[in-house]
């Protein structure tokens, strides 16, 4: 490519990246209707949290998962979401819920956990056995939450990219049809390819353009 063509190439690159950005914007706009794309992935979170509903019900008896769902749909930082759920589970660890919570955390001595929760309810000091069983309970809950939230986040990100690619292809095909007065085989193929490329290109377009500019400058200097 001639040096003179660099400006044209970066313009094309920016236009394709702009298409990807617009597609991501359309994906984000679906959140207006009942959370839209944000609902994707929540099933994994629901599955991992449901066994601990007795604890969450102490905060909201009518809809124990309401706060978990609200934080997910709102896009709260994943670490903060997990921390909130774990805090609510510990808050809900009482003499009334300990049997159910013990079953939800396999590997925990339910009898020891029951004794520890009874002391917490009555305000008694915890001994080493109580601290150890509570630590084991927390570690198991932590691992379960990590698994559920990580799988949920992965599904959400992958689905959002696929949906963005669909939007980008539609926009590219429509744009190509308007630009070339109708749908033509070559135009449609090119539009589909541009749409597919635009989504992964959008987040890195600025860095890519900068890198190309640096490379061209270096080549010009070497050429003299």
Cβ-contact 65, 31 below 8 angstroms: no
| DSSP single-letter state for residue 108 | S
Give percent above pLDDT 90 in the chain. 39
pLDDT score for 4: 46
pLDDT score for 161: 84
Helical pair 78-91 and 66-73, crossing angle rounded to 10 deg = 170
Single out the residue of 61, 94, 179, 12 nearest to residue 188, CA to CA. 179
Contacts with 98 (C-beta within 8 Å, 6 or more apart), sequence order: 110, 113, 114, 117
Q: Distance from CA of residue 50 to its chain's centroid?
A: 20
192-217 pLDDT tens trace: 887 777 776 555 444 444 544 555 45
16-30 pLDDT tens trace: 777 777 777 788 888
pLDDT score for 212: 47
Residue ranges for the chain with pLDDT beneath 70: 1-14, 200-224
């Amino acid at each position: 490519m001639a040096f003179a063509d660099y400006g044209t190439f970066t313009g094309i690159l920016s236009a394709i990246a702009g298409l990807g950005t617009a597609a991501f914007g359309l994906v984000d706009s679906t959140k207006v209707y009942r959370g839209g794309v944000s609902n994707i992935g929540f099933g994994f979170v629901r599955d991992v949290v449901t066994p601990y509903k007795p604890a969450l019900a102490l905060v909201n008896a009518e809809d124990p998962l309401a706060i978990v769902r609200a934080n997910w749909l709102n896009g709260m930082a994943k670490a903060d979401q997990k921390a909130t759920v774990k805090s609510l589970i510990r808050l809900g660890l009482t003499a009334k819920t300990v049997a159910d919570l013990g079953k939800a955390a396999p590997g925990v001595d339910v009898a020891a956990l029951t004794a520890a929760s009874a002391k917490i309810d009555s305000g008694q000091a915890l001994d080493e056995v109580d601290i150890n069983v509570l630590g084991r309970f927390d570690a198991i809950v932590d691992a379960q939450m990590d698994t559920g939230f990580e799988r949920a986040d992965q599904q959400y990100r992958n689905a959002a990219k696929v949906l963005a690619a669909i939007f980008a292809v539609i926009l590219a095909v429509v744009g190509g049809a308007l630009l070339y007065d109708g749908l033509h085989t070559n135009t449609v193929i090119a539009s589909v390819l541009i749409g597919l490329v635009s989504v992964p290109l959008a987040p890195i377009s600025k860095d890519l353009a900068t890198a190309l500019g640096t490379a061209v400058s270096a080549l010009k200097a070497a050429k003299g």
